[in-house]
Amino acid sequence: MARFMIVEARFYAHLNDMLIAGAREALEQAGHEVEVLTVPGALEVPGAIAAAAESGRYEGFVAVGVVIRGETYHFEIVAGESARAIMALTMDGIPIGNGILTTENEAQAIVRADAGQGNKGAGAAIAAMTLLDIQQRFA
């Protein structure tokens, strides 16, 4: 059993609820403890994961949130920089499953977030558990 933290960018609450439910179910079915931490947006997720990782209380993390393209360049910055920072933390040895959705519209996000369809929350949790297993294998 390990302790996992789900860090959610709470911008689209109804979509995040689906992502969190999928991630929580996958982690709990595997016998892990789960805690959820909420941050305002996707750009804050990597910083929160870094701080929580430094505490030593968690073995793995699942990042969830939704970034929907708007009319400005802000979408590219948020989507790209949050993914880049999460990847940098992963390369530093922190097991993170990235479940931050980047979509053109809300309909695409619903398909990916819903447990009966894409279930990307569960997919991100499975990725985090897999990375933790790999890390432990080579420790």
Q: Is residue 121 within 8 Å of 62, Cβ to Cβ?
A: yes
Does 7 appear as a known binding residue?
no
pLDDT digits (tens, 9 = 90+) for 35-90: 999 999 999 999 999 999 999 999 999 999 999 998 888 899 999 999 999 999 99
Architecture of domain 3-137: 3-Layer(aba) Sandwich (3.40)
Look at 74 and 91; give whichever has higher pLDDT: 91
Place of tokens 């040895």: 93
pLDDT digits (tens, 9 = 90+) for 93-118: 999 999 999 999 999 999 999 999 99
* pTM (two decimals): 0.96
Given CA atoms 10, 14, 17, 22 in this order, what sign does their dihedral have?
A: negative
Could you tell me whether strands 33-39 and 3-9 are parallel, antiparallel, or unpaired per DSSP bridges?
A: parallel
Q: Which residue is it, tokens 């931050």?
A: 100
CA 118, CA 109: separation in Å to the nearest integer?
9
Q: Each residue of 84-114: b (16+ CB within 10 Å) or e?
A: ebbeebbeeebbbbbbbbbbeeeebbbebbb
Q: Is 49 within any annotated ligand binding site?
A: no
Residue of 74, 88, 117, 134 marked catalytic? 74
Interval 22-32 mean pLDDT: 98
98 is in an annotated binding site: yes
> Which strands, in side-by-side order, build the sheet including 33-39?
33-39, 3-9, 60-68, 96-103
Q: Which two tokens stand for residue 65?
A: 């949130």
Asked if residue 35 belongs to a known ligand binding site, the reply is: no
Establish whether 32 is a catalytic residue.
no
